[in-house]
Amino acid sequence: MKNFCGYLGKSLNLSLRHLSSISSLFQQALYWVFIAPFKGKPVNRKYLSQQLELIGVKSVPIVAFVSFFFGITLAMLTAYQLQIFQAEVLVGALVGVSFTREIGSLLTGIVVAARVGAAMTAELGTMKVSEEIDALETMAIKPVRFLIAPRLLAILIMLPCLVIVANIMGILGGYLIGKLSLGIDTFYYFSQTFKAIEVKDIVTGLTKSVFFAVIIGMVGCYQGFIVAGGAEGVGKSTTTSVVTSIFLIIITDCVLNALFYFI
Amino acid sequence: MIVIKNLSKSFGKHKVLDNINLKIEKGKITIIMGGSGCGKSTLLKHLIGALKPDKGEILVEGNDITKMDENSLDNIRKKFGMLYQNGALFNSMSVGENVALPLREHTKLDNKIIEIVVKMKLELVGLTGFNELFPSQISGGMKKRVALARAIALDPQVVFYDEPGAGLDPVTRSVIDKLIADLSKKLNITSIVVTHEMGSAFTIADKIAMVHQGKIIANGTISEIKNSENEVVQQFISGSPEGPLTRQRSGKEYLESLT
Protein backbone atom coordinates (compact mmCIF):
# COMPACT_ATOMS: atom_id res chain seq x y z
CA MET A 1 0.00 0.00 0.00
CA LYS A 2 2.87 2.32 0.96
CA ASN A 3 4.67 1.58 -2.33
CA PHE A 4 1.49 2.20 -4.29
CA CYS A 5 0.92 5.58 -2.59
CA GLY A 6 4.55 6.48 -3.19
CA TYR A 7 4.26 5.56 -6.87
CA LEU A 8 1.04 7.53 -7.17
CA GLY A 9 2.59 10.56 -5.51
CA LYS A 10 5.66 10.42 -7.77
CA SER A 11 3.51 10.09 -10.90
CA LEU A 12 1.31 12.99 -9.86
CA ASN A 13 4.35 15.15 -9.09
CA LEU A 14 5.89 14.35 -12.49
CA SER A 15 2.60 14.99 -14.32
CA LEU A 16 2.19 18.37 -12.63
CA ARG A 17 5.76 19.33 -13.55
CA HIS A 18 5.14 18.38 -17.18
CA LEU A 19 1.88 20.32 -17.13
CA SER A 20 3.66 23.40 -15.80
CA SER A 21 6.42 23.13 -18.42
CA ILE A 22 4.06 22.60 -21.33
CA SER A 23 1.88 25.51 -20.17
CA SER A 24 4.91 27.78 -20.14
CA LEU A 25 5.90 26.57 -23.61
CA PHE A 26 2.35 27.10 -24.87
CA GLN A 27 2.33 30.64 -23.48
CA GLN A 28 5.56 31.43 -25.33
CA ALA A 29 4.26 29.80 -28.53
CA LEU A 30 1.04 31.83 -28.37
CA TYR A 31 3.10 35.01 -28.01
CA TRP A 32 5.24 34.24 -31.08
CA VAL A 33 2.21 33.19 -33.16
CA PHE A 34 -0.34 35.90 -32.29
CA ILE A 35 1.41 38.85 -30.63
CA ALA A 36 4.98 39.04 -31.94
CA PRO A 37 3.85 39.53 -35.61
CA PHE A 38 2.26 42.83 -34.55
CA LYS A 39 5.58 43.84 -33.01
CA GLY A 40 7.44 43.38 -36.27
CA LYS A 41 8.52 39.78 -35.60
CA PRO A 42 6.32 37.63 -37.83
CA VAL A 43 6.48 33.86 -38.11
CA ASN A 44 8.95 32.98 -40.86
CA ARG A 45 6.93 32.56 -44.06
CA LYS A 46 9.28 30.02 -45.61
CA TYR A 47 9.16 27.67 -42.61
CA LEU A 48 5.41 28.22 -42.21
CA SER A 49 4.73 27.23 -45.83
CA GLN A 50 6.96 24.15 -45.41
CA GLN A 51 4.94 23.11 -42.37
CA LEU A 52 1.61 23.86 -44.06
CA GLU A 53 2.60 21.45 -46.82
CA LEU A 54 3.94 18.78 -44.48
CA ILE A 55 1.05 18.94 -42.02
CA GLY A 56 -1.83 19.74 -44.34
CA VAL A 57 -1.25 18.85 -47.95
CA LYS A 58 0.57 15.59 -47.26
CA SER A 59 -2.07 14.45 -44.73
CA VAL A 60 -4.95 14.82 -47.21
CA PRO A 61 -4.62 11.34 -48.80
CA ILE A 62 -4.62 9.42 -45.52
CA VAL A 63 -7.37 11.54 -43.94
CA ALA A 64 -9.52 11.19 -47.06
CA PHE A 65 -8.88 7.44 -47.28
CA VAL A 66 -9.63 6.72 -43.63
CA SER A 67 -12.72 8.95 -43.58
CA PHE A 68 -14.11 7.45 -46.78
CA PHE A 69 -13.89 3.92 -45.44
CA PHE A 70 -15.20 4.96 -42.05
CA GLY A 71 -18.15 6.56 -43.85
CA ILE A 72 -18.80 3.24 -45.58
CA THR A 73 -18.58 1.36 -42.29
CA LEU A 74 -20.82 3.83 -40.47
CA ALA A 75 -23.43 3.68 -43.22
CA MET A 76 -23.46 -0.14 -43.14
CA LEU A 77 -23.76 -0.26 -39.34
CA THR A 78 -26.53 2.35 -39.19
CA ALA A 79 -28.43 0.77 -42.10
CA TYR A 80 -28.29 -2.58 -40.32
CA GLN A 81 -30.13 -1.08 -37.33
CA LEU A 82 -32.43 1.26 -39.29
CA GLN A 83 -33.74 -1.72 -41.28
CA ILE A 84 -35.65 -2.76 -38.17
CA PHE A 85 -37.69 0.45 -38.45
CA GLN A 86 -37.62 0.41 -42.29
CA ALA A 87 -35.92 3.77 -42.07
CA GLU A 88 -32.80 3.11 -44.16
CA VAL A 89 -33.40 6.36 -46.01
CA LEU A 90 -32.14 8.18 -42.91
CA VAL A 91 -28.63 6.72 -43.35
CA GLY A 92 -27.46 9.88 -45.14
CA ALA A 93 -28.69 12.15 -42.35
CA LEU A 94 -27.09 9.98 -39.67
CA VAL A 95 -23.74 9.74 -41.41
CA GLY A 96 -23.78 13.47 -42.21
CA VAL A 97 -24.53 14.63 -38.66
CA SER A 98 -22.19 12.07 -37.10
CA PHE A 99 -19.30 13.12 -39.28
CA THR A 100 -19.76 16.88 -39.06
CA ARG A 101 -20.39 16.91 -35.34
CA GLU A 102 -18.06 14.21 -34.11
CA ILE A 103 -16.35 11.65 -36.27
CA GLY A 104 -14.75 13.98 -38.80
CA SER A 105 -12.83 15.93 -36.17
CA LEU A 106 -12.07 12.97 -33.88
CA LEU A 107 -10.86 10.68 -36.65
CA THR A 108 -8.78 13.45 -38.25
CA GLY A 109 -7.32 14.36 -34.87
CA ILE A 110 -6.24 10.78 -34.21
CA VAL A 111 -4.81 10.26 -37.71
CA VAL A 112 -2.93 13.57 -37.63
CA ALA A 113 -1.68 12.92 -34.07
CA ALA A 114 -0.19 9.64 -35.26
CA ARG A 115 1.27 11.05 -38.46
CA VAL A 116 2.18 14.65 -37.70
CA GLY A 117 2.62 14.54 -33.92
CA ALA A 118 5.10 11.69 -34.22
CA ALA A 119 6.99 13.48 -37.00
CA MET A 120 7.23 16.68 -34.94
CA THR A 121 8.56 14.83 -31.90
CA ALA A 122 11.03 12.78 -33.90
CA GLU A 123 12.38 15.77 -35.80
CA LEU A 124 12.68 18.07 -32.79
CA GLY A 125 13.99 15.24 -30.60
CA THR A 126 16.73 14.48 -33.11
CA MET A 127 17.60 18.17 -33.22
CA LYS A 128 17.77 18.20 -29.41
CA VAL A 129 20.07 15.19 -29.31
CA SER A 130 22.41 16.64 -31.94
CA GLU A 131 22.59 20.00 -30.09
CA GLU A 132 20.87 21.90 -32.92
CA ILE A 133 18.42 23.48 -30.44
CA ASP A 134 21.35 24.52 -28.21
CA ALA A 135 23.00 25.98 -31.32
CA LEU A 136 19.90 28.11 -31.97
CA GLU A 137 19.99 29.48 -28.42
CA THR A 138 23.71 30.23 -28.73
CA MET A 139 22.96 32.15 -31.95
CA ALA A 140 20.37 34.19 -29.97
CA ILE A 141 17.55 32.65 -32.01
CA LYS A 142 14.57 31.66 -29.86
CA PRO A 143 13.85 27.96 -30.47
CA VAL A 144 10.14 28.52 -29.70
CA ARG A 145 9.89 31.20 -32.39
CA PHE A 146 11.97 29.31 -34.93
CA LEU A 147 10.70 25.77 -34.42
CA ILE A 148 7.39 25.71 -32.56
CA ALA A 149 5.54 28.81 -33.78
CA PRO A 150 5.50 27.76 -37.49
CA ARG A 151 4.34 24.27 -36.53
CA LEU A 152 1.60 25.46 -34.20
CA LEU A 153 0.28 28.02 -36.66
CA ALA A 154 0.40 25.52 -39.51
CA ILE A 155 -1.56 22.87 -37.61
CA LEU A 156 -4.11 25.46 -36.40
CA ILE A 157 -4.73 26.39 -40.03
CA MET A 158 -4.60 22.93 -41.53
CA LEU A 159 -6.47 20.71 -39.09
CA PRO A 160 -9.88 22.40 -39.62
CA CYS A 161 -9.24 22.15 -43.38
CA LEU A 162 -8.50 18.44 -43.01
CA VAL A 163 -11.69 18.02 -40.96
CA ILE A 164 -13.67 19.52 -43.85
CA VAL A 165 -12.01 17.01 -46.20
CA ALA A 166 -12.84 14.20 -43.73
CA ASN A 167 -16.49 15.28 -43.52
CA ILE A 168 -16.86 15.36 -47.30
CA MET A 169 -15.19 11.98 -47.77
CA GLY A 170 -17.18 10.42 -44.93
CA ILE A 171 -20.45 11.60 -46.49
CA LEU A 172 -19.29 10.27 -49.88
CA GLY A 173 -18.45 6.91 -48.27
CA GLY A 174 -21.93 6.78 -46.79
CA TYR A 175 -23.40 7.72 -50.16
CA LEU A 176 -21.63 4.76 -51.79
CA ILE A 177 -23.48 2.37 -49.47
CA GLY A 178 -26.71 4.33 -49.78
CA LYS A 179 -26.60 4.18 -53.58
CA LEU A 180 -25.16 0.73 -54.23
CA SER A 181 -26.52 -1.28 -51.33
CA LEU A 182 -29.69 0.48 -50.22
CA GLY A 183 -30.72 1.83 -53.61
CA ILE A 184 -31.30 5.39 -52.35
CA ASP A 185 -31.57 8.01 -55.08
CA THR A 186 -28.54 10.35 -55.25
CA PHE A 187 -30.53 13.58 -55.00
CA TYR A 188 -32.66 12.17 -52.17
CA TYR A 189 -29.60 10.95 -50.26
CA PHE A 190 -27.83 14.32 -50.36
CA SER A 191 -30.99 16.35 -49.69
CA GLN A 192 -31.66 14.23 -46.59
CA THR A 193 -28.03 14.71 -45.54
CA PHE A 194 -28.01 18.49 -45.90
CA LYS A 195 -31.45 18.83 -44.38
CA ALA A 196 -30.22 17.12 -41.23
CA ILE A 197 -26.89 18.92 -40.92
CA GLU A 198 -27.16 22.24 -39.10
CA VAL A 199 -24.60 25.02 -39.03
CA LYS A 200 -23.98 24.31 -35.35
CA ASP A 201 -22.96 20.73 -36.22
CA ILE A 202 -20.26 21.97 -38.57
CA VAL A 203 -19.16 24.68 -36.14
CA THR A 204 -18.98 22.11 -33.30
CA GLY A 205 -16.75 19.85 -35.33
CA LEU A 206 -14.46 22.65 -36.47
CA THR A 207 -14.21 24.11 -32.95
CA LYS A 208 -13.10 20.73 -31.65
CA SER A 209 -10.47 20.59 -34.38
CA VAL A 210 -8.88 23.80 -33.05
CA PHE A 211 -8.51 22.25 -29.60
CA PHE A 212 -7.13 19.05 -31.13
CA ALA A 213 -4.65 21.08 -33.18
CA VAL A 214 -3.31 22.74 -30.03
CA ILE A 215 -2.99 19.35 -28.31
CA ILE A 216 -1.16 17.71 -31.22
CA GLY A 217 1.12 20.70 -31.84
CA MET A 218 2.09 21.34 -28.25
CA VAL A 219 2.44 17.73 -27.13
CA GLY A 220 4.45 16.88 -30.24
CA CYS A 221 6.80 19.84 -29.86
CA TYR A 222 7.13 19.55 -26.08
CA GLN A 223 8.02 15.87 -26.22
CA GLY A 224 10.66 16.69 -28.84
CA PHE A 225 12.17 19.43 -26.68
CA ILE A 226 12.53 17.21 -23.60
CA VAL A 227 14.19 14.25 -25.32
CA ALA A 228 17.17 12.84 -23.47
CA GLY A 229 19.30 9.78 -24.04
CA GLY A 230 20.03 9.62 -27.75
CA ALA A 231 18.14 7.51 -30.27
CA GLU A 232 16.36 5.49 -27.60
CA GLY A 233 15.11 8.72 -26.04
CA VAL A 234 13.78 9.93 -29.39
CA GLY A 235 11.90 6.65 -29.85
CA LYS A 236 10.39 6.77 -26.38
CA SER A 237 9.35 10.40 -26.71
CA THR A 238 7.75 9.76 -30.11
CA THR A 239 5.64 6.96 -28.67
CA THR A 240 4.71 9.05 -25.62
CA SER A 241 3.78 11.95 -27.90
CA VAL A 242 1.35 9.90 -29.98
CA VAL A 243 -0.23 8.09 -27.02
CA THR A 244 -0.57 11.28 -24.96
CA SER A 245 -2.03 13.24 -27.89
CA ILE A 246 -4.64 10.57 -28.66
CA PHE A 247 -5.54 10.23 -24.99
CA LEU A 248 -5.94 14.00 -24.56
CA ILE A 249 -7.92 14.28 -27.82
CA ILE A 250 -10.44 11.72 -26.64
CA ILE A 251 -10.79 13.29 -23.18
CA THR A 252 -11.15 16.78 -24.70
CA ASP A 253 -13.69 15.47 -27.18
CA CYS A 254 -15.75 14.06 -24.33
CA VAL A 255 -15.62 17.32 -22.37
CA LEU A 256 -16.48 19.42 -25.41
CA ASN A 257 -19.36 17.12 -26.29
CA ALA A 258 -20.73 17.62 -22.80
CA LEU A 259 -20.46 21.41 -23.23
CA PHE A 260 -21.90 21.45 -26.74
CA TYR A 261 -24.78 19.23 -25.69
CA PHE A 262 -26.39 22.24 -24.14
CA ILE A 263 -25.79 24.52 -27.15
CA MET B 1 37.42 40.42 -21.88
CA ILE B 2 35.83 37.64 -19.82
CA VAL B 3 36.37 37.25 -16.08
CA ILE B 4 35.11 34.25 -14.12
CA LYS B 5 34.87 34.86 -10.37
CA ASN B 6 34.24 32.20 -7.72
CA LEU B 7 32.06 30.11 -10.01
CA SER B 8 30.44 27.05 -8.43
CA LYS B 9 27.85 24.63 -9.72
CA SER B 10 26.41 21.41 -8.39
CA PHE B 11 24.00 18.91 -9.90
CA GLY B 12 22.29 17.36 -6.90
CA LYS B 13 25.06 16.30 -4.52
CA HIS B 14 27.70 16.24 -7.22
CA LYS B 15 29.82 19.41 -7.26
CA VAL B 16 30.87 19.91 -10.86
CA LEU B 17 32.51 23.36 -10.61
CA ASP B 18 34.20 24.39 -7.40
CA ASN B 19 35.13 28.05 -6.98
CA ILE B 20 36.52 28.64 -10.47
CA ASN B 21 38.48 31.85 -11.06
CA LEU B 22 39.78 32.59 -14.56
CA LYS B 23 40.58 35.54 -16.83
CA ILE B 24 40.18 35.20 -20.59
CA GLU B 25 42.29 37.77 -22.44
CA LYS B 26 41.00 39.61 -25.46
CA GLY B 27 42.26 38.45 -28.84
CA LYS B 28 44.03 35.41 -27.36
CA ILE B 29 43.43 31.67 -27.61
CA THR B 30 42.66 30.20 -24.20
CA ILE B 31 42.57 26.44 -23.88
CA ILE B 32 40.45 24.87 -21.16
CA MET B 33 41.62 21.31 -20.83
CA GLY B 34 41.02 18.39 -18.54
CA GLY B 35 39.99 14.76 -18.45
CA SER B 36 36.51 13.45 -19.15
CA GLY B 37 34.03 14.52 -16.51
CA CYS B 38 36.26 17.21 -15.01
CA GLY B 39 33.71 19.98 -15.63
CA LYS B 40 35.17 21.75 -18.69
CA SER B 41 32.03 21.41 -20.85
CA THR B 42 29.90 22.57 -17.91
CA LEU B 43 32.20 25.60 -17.59
CA LEU B 44 31.77 26.28 -21.31
CA LYS B 45 27.97 26.12 -20.98
CA HIS B 46 28.14 28.73 -18.22
CA LEU B 47 30.23 31.00 -20.44
CA ILE B 48 27.61 30.93 -23.22
CA GLY B 49 24.80 31.46 -20.72
CA ALA B 50 23.23 28.02 -21.21
CA LEU B 51 23.56 27.28 -17.47
CA LYS B 52 23.26 29.50 -14.41
CA PRO B 53 25.74 28.91 -11.58
CA ASP B 54 24.87 28.32 -7.94
CA LYS B 55 27.44 30.91 -6.95
CA GLY B 56 29.82 33.35 -8.62
CA GLU B 57 29.96 35.76 -11.55
CA ILE B 58 30.89 35.73 -15.19
CA LEU B 59 31.79 39.22 -16.39
CA VAL B 60 31.77 39.84 -20.13
CA GLU B 61 33.24 43.31 -20.70
CA GLY B 62 32.17 44.22 -17.18
CA ASN B 63 28.59 42.86 -17.44
CA ASP B 64 27.62 39.90 -15.25
CA ILE B 65 25.84 37.47 -17.60
CA THR B 66 24.74 35.19 -14.75
CA LYS B 67 22.21 37.77 -13.63
CA MET B 68 20.91 38.79 -17.04
CA ASP B 69 17.43 38.06 -18.39
CA GLU B 70 17.02 36.18 -21.67
CA ASN B 71 16.75 39.32 -23.86
CA SER B 72 19.91 40.89 -22.44
CA LEU B 73 21.69 37.54 -22.74
CA ASP B 74 20.64 37.31 -26.39
CA ASN B 75 22.30 40.69 -27.04
CA ILE B 76 25.54 39.36 -25.54
CA ARG B 77 25.22 36.09 -27.49
CA LYS B 78 25.18 38.03 -30.78
CA LYS B 79 28.82 38.85 -30.01
CA PHE B 80 29.57 35.13 -29.52
CA GLY B 81 30.06 32.26 -31.91
CA MET B 82 30.03 28.61 -30.91
CA LEU B 83 31.44 25.53 -32.60
CA TYR B 84 29.79 22.42 -31.14
CA GLN B 85 31.55 19.09 -30.93
CA ASN B 86 29.47 17.54 -33.72
CA GLY B 87 28.96 20.78 -35.60
CA ALA B 88 25.21 20.99 -34.78
CA LEU B 89 24.40 21.90 -38.39
CA PHE B 90 20.72 21.96 -39.32
CA ASN B 91 20.25 18.92 -41.52
CA SER B 92 17.18 20.33 -43.26
CA MET B 93 19.21 23.29 -44.55
CA SER B 94 22.01 23.43 -47.09
CA VAL B 95 25.55 24.49 -46.15
CA GLY B 96 24.86 27.99 -47.46
CA GLU B 97 21.56 28.27 -45.58
CA ASN B 98 23.23 27.14 -42.36
CA VAL B 99 25.87 29.85 -42.62
CA ALA B 100 23.28 32.43 -43.67
CA LEU B 101 20.93 31.72 -40.76
CA PRO B 102 22.42 34.17 -38.20
CA LEU B 103 22.60 36.84 -40.92
CA ARG B 104 18.94 36.36 -41.88
CA GLU B 105 17.75 36.37 -38.27
CA HIS B 106 19.80 39.26 -36.92
CA THR B 107 20.46 41.61 -39.83
CA LYS B 108 18.37 43.41 -42.42
CA LEU B 109 20.86 42.67 -45.19
CA ASP B 110 19.59 42.04 -48.69
CA ASN B 111 19.59 38.40 -49.85
CA LYS B 112 22.29 39.11 -52.43
CA ILE B 113 24.56 40.64 -49.76
CA ILE B 114 23.94 37.66 -47.48
CA GLU B 115 24.93 35.29 -50.29
CA ILE B 116 28.18 37.23 -50.77
CA VAL B 117 28.94 37.15 -47.04
CA VAL B 118 28.22 33.40 -46.95
CA LYS B 119 30.66 32.83 -49.82
CA MET B 120 33.30 34.90 -48.01
CA LYS B 121 32.89 32.94 -44.78
CA LEU B 122 33.02 29.60 -46.59
CA GLU B 123 36.15 30.75 -48.43
CA LEU B 124 37.77 31.61 -45.09
CA VAL B 125 37.31 28.00 -43.97
CA GLY B 126 38.35 26.56 -47.32
CA LEU B 127 34.93 25.43 -48.52
CA THR B 128 34.32 27.60 -51.57
CA GLY B 129 31.54 26.25 -53.76
CA PHE B 130 29.95 24.03 -51.11
CA ASN B 131 26.88 26.27 -50.64
CA GLU B 132 24.34 23.95 -52.22
CA LEU B 133 25.40 20.74 -50.52
CA PHE B 134 23.60 19.41 -47.45
CA PRO B 135 25.28 18.32 -44.19
CA SER B 136 24.57 14.66 -45.00
CA GLN B 137 26.65 15.03 -48.16
CA ILE B 138 29.87 16.26 -46.54
CA SER B 139 32.50 14.72 -44.27
CA GLY B 140 32.89 15.26 -40.53
CA GLY B 141 35.81 17.64 -40.98
CA MET B 142 33.85 19.67 -43.54
CA LYS B 143 30.87 19.83 -41.15
CA LYS B 144 33.14 21.32 -38.50
CA ARG B 145 34.40 23.91 -41.00
CA VAL B 146 30.86 24.81 -42.06
CA ALA B 147 29.92 25.12 -38.38
CA LEU B 148 32.93 27.40 -37.92
CA ALA B 149 31.86 29.52 -40.90
CA ARG B 150 28.41 29.81 -39.29
CA ALA B 151 29.97 30.69 -35.93
CA ILE B 152 31.86 33.63 -37.48
CA ALA B 153 29.00 34.76 -39.75
CA LEU B 154 28.22 37.79 -37.59
CA ASP B 155 31.93 38.64 -37.04
CA PRO B 156 31.80 37.76 -33.35
CA GLN B 157 34.21 39.03 -30.73
CA VAL B 158 34.42 35.66 -28.98
CA VAL B 159 34.27 32.14 -30.41
CA PHE B 160 33.87 29.07 -28.22
CA TYR B 161 35.06 25.69 -29.47
CA ASP B 162 33.83 22.50 -27.84
CA GLU B 163 36.30 19.71 -28.62
CA PRO B 164 36.94 20.92 -32.18
CA GLY B 165 39.23 18.00 -33.00
CA ALA B 166 36.96 15.25 -31.67
CA GLY B 167 36.40 12.40 -34.11
CA LEU B 168 38.77 13.81 -36.74
CA ASP B 169 41.87 12.28 -38.28
CA PRO B 170 45.21 13.96 -37.37
CA VAL B 171 45.49 15.84 -40.66
CA THR B 172 41.96 17.27 -40.51
CA ARG B 173 42.49 18.06 -36.85
CA SER B 174 45.56 20.14 -37.67
CA VAL B 175 43.61 21.90 -40.44
CA ILE B 176 40.98 22.91 -37.85
CA ASP B 177 43.73 23.99 -35.41
CA LYS B 178 45.30 26.16 -38.10
CA LEU B 179 41.90 27.69 -38.89
CA ILE B 180 41.34 28.53 -35.23
CA ALA B 181 44.78 30.16 -34.98
CA ASP B 182 44.41 32.05 -38.28
CA LEU B 183 40.93 33.37 -37.47
CA SER B 184 42.02 34.44 -34.03
CA LYS B 185 44.96 36.42 -35.39
CA LYS B 186 43.43 37.77 -38.63
CA LEU B 187 40.06 38.74 -37.16
CA ASN B 188 41.29 39.47 -33.62
CA ILE B 189 38.80 36.97 -32.19
CA THR B 190 39.01 35.87 -28.58
CA SER B 191 38.99 32.07 -28.73
CA ILE B 192 38.11 29.69 -25.93
CA VAL B 193 38.83 26.10 -26.81
CA VAL B 194 37.70 23.18 -24.67
CA THR B 195 39.78 20.15 -25.49
CA HIS B 196 41.77 17.30 -24.04
CA GLU B 197 44.07 16.94 -27.05
CA MET B 198 47.50 18.04 -25.93
CA GLY B 199 48.92 18.27 -29.45
CA SER B 200 46.29 20.82 -30.49
CA ALA B 201 46.55 22.69 -27.19
CA PHE B 202 50.34 23.11 -27.43
CA THR B 203 50.09 24.16 -31.08
CA ILE B 204 47.61 27.01 -30.80
CA ALA B 205 47.35 28.10 -27.16
CA ASP B 206 48.29 31.50 -25.78
CA LYS B 207 47.09 30.40 -22.35
CA ILE B 208 46.08 27.03 -20.91
CA ALA B 209 43.84 26.39 -17.91
CA MET B 210 43.61 22.86 -16.60
CA VAL B 211 40.43 21.73 -14.85
CA HIS B 212 40.46 18.76 -12.50
CA GLN B 213 37.51 17.69 -10.32
CA GLY B 214 35.81 21.04 -10.85
CA LYS B 215 38.81 23.17 -9.88
CA ILE B 216 41.45 25.00 -11.91
CA ILE B 217 44.71 23.37 -10.88
CA ALA B 218 47.00 25.09 -13.38
CA ASN B 219 46.77 28.27 -15.44
CA GLY B 220 49.50 29.76 -17.60
CA THR B 221 51.41 29.77 -20.86
CA ILE B 222 52.44 26.59 -22.66
CA SER B 223 55.90 26.53 -21.06
CA GLU B 224 54.45 27.23 -17.60
CA ILE B 225 52.05 24.30 -17.98
CA LYS B 226 54.79 22.02 -19.32
CA ASN B 227 57.00 22.91 -16.36
CA SER B 228 54.20 22.64 -13.79
CA GLU B 229 55.09 20.68 -10.66
CA ASN B 230 51.53 19.48 -10.27
CA GLU B 231 51.48 15.66 -10.65
CA VAL B 232 48.00 15.65 -12.20
CA VAL B 233 49.08 18.15 -14.88
CA GLN B 234 52.21 16.17 -15.65
CA GLN B 235 50.31 12.89 -15.92
CA PHE B 236 47.74 14.52 -18.21
CA ILE B 237 50.40 16.08 -20.46
CA SER B 238 52.39 12.87 -20.73
CA GLY B 239 49.33 10.64 -21.07
CA SER B 240 50.86 8.17 -18.65
CA PRO B 241 48.59 5.44 -17.23
CA GLU B 242 50.39 5.70 -13.88
CA GLY B 243 49.76 8.65 -11.61
CA PRO B 244 47.30 10.45 -9.36
CA LEU B 245 44.54 10.35 -11.99
CA THR B 246 44.58 6.56 -12.06
CA ARG B 247 45.93 5.74 -8.61
CA GLN B 248 44.56 2.45 -7.23
CA ARG B 249 42.40 2.72 -4.15
CA SER B 250 43.50 1.10 -0.91
CA GLY B 251 41.64 -2.00 0.32
CA LYS B 252 39.91 0.09 2.99
CA GLU B 253 38.76 2.72 0.44
CA TYR B 254 37.44 -0.08 -1.79
CA LEU B 255 35.43 -1.65 1.04
CA GLU B 256 34.03 1.75 2.01
CA SER B 257 32.91 2.37 -1.55
CA LEU B 258 31.06 -0.98 -1.59
CA THR B 259 29.22 -0.40 1.67
The yes-or-no verdict on residue B46 having pLDDT over 80 is yes
Interface check for B4 against chain A (CB to CB < 8 A): the answer is: no
- Over residues B191-200, mean pLDDT: 88
CB–CB of B75 and A134 under 8 A?
no
Is the pTM above the cut of 0.90?
Answer: no
Asked, for residue B245, whether it belongs to a domain, the answer is no
B48 touches chain A (CB under 8 A): yes
Q: Given this model, what pLDDT does residue B166 score? A: 82
Cβ atoms of residues A51 and A147 within 8 Å? no
- Tell me what pLDDT residue B18 has: 87
pLDDT at B45 over 60: yes
Domain membership of residue B257 (yes or no) is no
A140: closest CA of chain B, how far (Å)? 5
Instruction: Decide if pLDDT at B254 tops 80.
Output: no
Structural domain boundaries enclosing B208: 2-222
- Look at B50 and A141 and tell me if their CB atoms are within 8 Å: no
Residue B19, pLDDT above cutoff 70: yes
Cα nearest neighbour of A132 on chain B: B88
User: By the 8 A CB rule, do A43 and A158 touch?
Assistant: no
B241, part of any domain: no
d(C-alpha A174, C-alpha B58), whole Å: 68
Size of interface A-B (CB pairs under 8 A): 43
Q: Which H/E stretch holds residue B33?
A: strand B29-33
Determine the pLDDT at residue B247: 65
Give me the residue from A132, A137, A141 closest to B50, CB to CB: A137
- Taking only the tens place, the pLDDT of each residue in B50-70 is 888 898 999 988 888 888 888
Count of domains in chain B? 1
Average pLDDT over residues A222-228: 93
More confident residue, B35 or B192: B192
pLDDT at B204 over 70: yes
CA distance B21 to B216: 8
Per-residue exposure over A96-129, b if at least 16 CB sit within 10 Å of its own CB, e if not: bbbbbbbbbbbbbbbbbbbbbbbbbbbbbbbbbb
Averaged over A129-143, what is the pLDDT?
92
A106-121 per-position pLDDT tens digit: 999 999 999 999 999 9
Q: Which residues of A touch B (CB under 8 A)?
A: 127, 130-132, 134-135, 137-142, 146
Lowest mean pLDDT across A33-42, A120-129, B51-60, B227-236: B227-236
How do residues B232-253 score in pLDDT, each as one tens digit? Answer: 888 888 777 777 766 655 667 6
- Chain B residues lying within 8 Å of A130, measured CB to CB: 86, 88, 91
Instruction: Report chain A residues whose CB lies below 8 A from the CB of B88.
Output: 130-132, 134-135
The mean pLDDT of A24-38, rounded to a whole number, is 93
- pLDDT at residue A244 in the model: 95
Please indicate, yes or no, if residue B59 is contained in any of the structural domains. yes
* Chosen from A139, A142, A234 to mutate, greatest number of chain B CBs within 10 A: A139
Read off the CATH number of the domain in which B10 is found. Answer: 3.40.50.300
List the single range of A225-229, B104-108, B225-229 with lowest mean pLDDT: B225-229
Residues A135, B84: C-beta atoms closer than 8 Å: yes
Segment (H or E) for A126: helix A118-129
How far apart, in whole angstroms, are the C-alpha atoms of residue A79 and residue A69?
Answer: 15
Residue B149 lies in a domain: yes
Q: Across the interface, which of A132, A141, A142 has its CB nearest the CB of B88?
A: A132
> Is B132 part of a structural domain of the chain?
yes
Q: Per-residue confidence at B183, pLDDT binned at 50, 70, 90?
A: confident
The mean predicted confidence, pLDDT, of chain B is: 87
Residue B207 CA neighbour count, 13 Å, CB half? 15
Cβ of B77 and A132 within 8 Å?
no
Residue B189 included in any domain: yes
Contact B132/A at CB under 8 A: no
The letter for the amino acid at A166 is A
Cα-only R_g, chain B: 20
pLDDT one-digit tens code per residue, A50-82: 999 999 999 999 999 999 999 999 999 998 888
What DSSP character marks residue A183? -
Residue B249, pLDDT score = 56
Chain A hits for B150, Cβ within 8 Å: 139
pLDDT at B250: 61
Spatial strand order in the sheet of B14-24? B14-24, B2-11, B55-60, B63-64
Q: Is residue B101 included in any domain, yes or no? A: yes
Min Cα–Cα distance to chain B from A262, Å: 46
Determine whether the interchain pair A138/B85 forms a contact, defined as Cβ–Cβ distance below 8 Å: no
B137 to chain A, any CB pair closer than 8 A? The answer is: no
How much of chain B exceeds pLDDT 90, in percent?
37
- B239 three-class SS: coil
Tell me the chain B residues in contact with residue A141 when contact means C-beta distances shorter than 8 Å: 101-102, 105
Cα Rg, chain A, nearest whole Å: 21
Closest C-alpha to A150, from A42, A244, A224: A42
pLDDT tens digits, A151-197? 999 999 999 999 999 999 999 999 999 898 888 888 989 999 999 99
Please say whether the beta carbons of B189 and B202 come within 8 A: no
Q: What is the ipTM of this complex?
A: 0.84
Residue of A nearest to B154 (CA): A139
Distant-in-sequence, close-in-space partners of A48: CB < 8 Å, separation ≥ 6: A150, A153, A154
